[in-house]
Amino acid sequence: MFVLKLIFRNAFRHRLRSALTIVGVAIAVLAFGLLKTLVAAWYLGVEASSASRLVTRNAISLVFLLPASYQEKIRHVPGVTAVAKGNWFGGVYIDEKNFFPNFAVEPKPYLDLYPEYVLPPEERKAFLLDRKGCVVGRKLADRFGWRIGDLVTLRGTIFPGNWEFIVRGIYQPGRKNTDTTQFFFHWDYLDETMRKTTPRRAGQVGFYVVGLSSPDLAAEVSLFIDGMFRNSLAETLTETERAFQLSFVSMTEAIVVAIRIVSYVVIVIIMVVAANTMAMTARERIAEYATLKTLGFGGWHVAGVVFGESLVIAMAGGALGVLLTFPAADWIGAKLSQFVPVFQVSRETIALDLLAAFVVGAVAGIFPTWRGATINIADGLRRIA
C-alpha cells in the first residue's frame, strides 16, 4: 500500500511536467489508434467480402472485358447458384473531385447476391422496373443531397457521353462494414446504348459475380470456370471475392506499409520524450533514492517505485488517448467519408493502444529504474551538498 501511495504521489509531484507528458502520450496513442483505423479502412473491401461469392474477370487484366455469352456457361457449372454481370463504369459526377465508385450491374441477381445492401421492397421493385433507374448508398445520397426520384447525370470517361439516371432506391448498410458510397445501375442500359453508338463495344462484361451453394466449393468451381475458357480469346481468372479485393489492396501496399511504419514512429517519438522526462525526474531524486535505501528499503523496492511511476504516467496518457480516439474517429469519418467509406475503431486497436502506452512507460522507465536500483548510498547522499 505504502509503495502504491508513494508511486502516485511521486507521479504528480511535478504537476506541469506530468501533465505535459500525459498529454504527449495521449496524442501519440491517439495518432497511433487513428492510423491503425485508417489501415483497417484500407482493408474494408476485404473484410466485407463474402466467402460464398467468386469474381470472374479477364485473365490479362481488368481493362479487358469478357463476352456476355460466358454467363450461361458459368451458370451451368455445378455448385453455382447465381451469376450477375457487372461493369466498372467510371462515370464522373460534375467534377472529378466528386469521386465515387459506380457500376453497371444486372439488377436482380446482383441484389440477390449482395443481401447486405438493404433496400425496401417498393424501392427495389421501382429500380428493377426502370431501365434508367439507379440505386445509391445512404452515405452517397447524403453527400449530394439526392432523394428518390432525382435525376443524376454522370459524364462517362470509359463510355463516352452524358448518362442520365433516376434515383430509384437508397440502400442501407446491412452490416457495420458495408460500403454505402456506391452507385449501381442497369447493365442493360449501358449495353443497349453502346449497341447504338459503338456496336463493337456491346455485349461485353467487366466481371461476373458468381454465387456458390457452399463456400467449400470455391476452389473447385474457380478451377472449373477457368478451365472452361482456357486457350480461348478471353481467358478468365476466377478468385474469391476476398482475393479479388485483396489484389486491389496489394497494389497500393507500399502506402499501407508506409502508414504502418509511421504509426510506430509516433510511438518511438513519444517513447523518447517520456524516457527523457523519467531520466530528468530520476536525476533530481537521486538523493531521495539514497535516503530510502538508508532507511532499509532494498534495491528492488526503489526500482519498483521508479518503474511504477513511469507506468502510471504512461498509462494515464494511454487512457486519455483511448478516450479521445472515439470522438476523433467520428469526426474524421465524417470529414473523409468520400475517401474512406467506413472509419470505425476496432477493439483490437484499443488493445494495441493500451499495449503501446504500456511499452512506452516500461521502456522509458528502464534506465532510471536501473539507476535507482544500483545507486550507491554514499554517492547518492553526496549529491545534496
Name the site residues for another protein (rule: CB under 8 A): 16-17, 20-21, 23-24, 27-28, 30-31, 35, 59-64, 90, 96, 155-158, 160, 200, 231, 233, 237, 247, 250-255, 258-259, 262, 265-266, 268-270, 272-273, 275-277, 279-280, 284
Which of 284/379 has CB closer to another protein?
A: 284
CB of 369 to another protein, least distance (A): 16
Which of 79/90 has CB closer to another protein?
A: 90
Strand intervals (E) in the chain: 53-58, 66-67, 80-88, 91-92, 102-105, 117-118, 133-137, 151-156, 162-173, 183-186, 204-205, 207-212, 236-240
List, in order, residues 6 or more apart from 129 with CB less than 8 Å away. none
Cα 30 to Cα 360: distance, rounded to the nearest angstrom: 14
Cα 93 to Cα 332: distance, rounded to the nearest angstrom: 23
Cα 185 to Cα 103: distance, rounded to the nearest angstrom: 7
CB of 21 to another protein, least distance (A): 7
CB of 155 to another protein, least distance (A): 6
Nearest to 288 by CA among 309, 311, 314: 309
CB of 122 to another protein, least distance (A): 36
Which of 100/171 has CB closer to another protein?
A: 100
314, three cell numbers: 504512461
CB of 171 to another protein, least distance (A): 25
CB of 64 to another protein, least distance (A): 7
Which of 233/378 has CB closer to another protein?
A: 233
Which of 27/118 has CB closer to another protein?
A: 27
Which of 67/299 has CB closer to another protein?
A: 67
159, three cell numbers: 463510355
Q: 2-38 b/e with 16+ CB inside 10 Å = b?
A: eeeebbeebbeeeeeebeebbebbbbbbbbbbbbbbb
Which of 72/96 has CB closer to another protein?
A: 96
